[in-house]
């Protein structure tokens, strides 16, 4: 089975310390790209915005959203609309209503949306 292609959105401390290392340590996953306004990861396609990454890498299976919490909702909405599975850092959204909307969008798209 081919590894799942993951994109990381936001390359801060949590992403660098946990997500990048976890993806690299598991052959079932491949870090296909990173979208971050303020950081880059060597030897990985880097993009300034999530939309740029999704356009350039349509083969992504999932995105891990590691941005500040206030940006989670819009990023998750966009990723789900593009047919990607979504992993959200906590807190997942600014409100329960936003989270419920994302869960409905994930269900409608046949994708998984999860918070860690």
Mark whether 84 is an active-site residue. Answer: no
- State the DSSP code for 9: E
Alpha carbon distance 10, 52 (integer Å): 13
Of 8, 26, 14, nearest in space to 63 by CA: 8
Taking phi over 0 as left and psi of -120 to 50 as alpha, with beta for the rest, 81 belongs to: alpha
Candidates 2, 13, 84, 90; catalytic one: 90
Alpha carbon distance 70, 29 (integer Å): 27
Any idea which residues carry the catalytic annotation? 90
């Amino acid at each position: 089975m081919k590894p799942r292609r993951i994109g990381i959105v936001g390359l801060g401390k949590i992403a660098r310390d946990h997500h990048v290392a976890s993806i690299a340590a598991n052959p079932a996953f491949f870090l296909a790209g990173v979208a971050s306004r303020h950081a880059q990861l060597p030897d990985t396609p880097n993009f300034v915005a999530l939309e740029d990454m999704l356009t350039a890498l349509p083969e992504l299976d999932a995105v891990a959203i590691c941005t500040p919490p206030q940006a989670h909702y819009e990023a998750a909405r966009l990723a789900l609309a593009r047919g990607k599975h979504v992993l959200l850092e906590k807190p997942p959204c600014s409100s329960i209503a936003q989270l419920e909307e994302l869960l409905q969008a994930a269900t409608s798209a046949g994708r998984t949306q999860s918070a860690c």
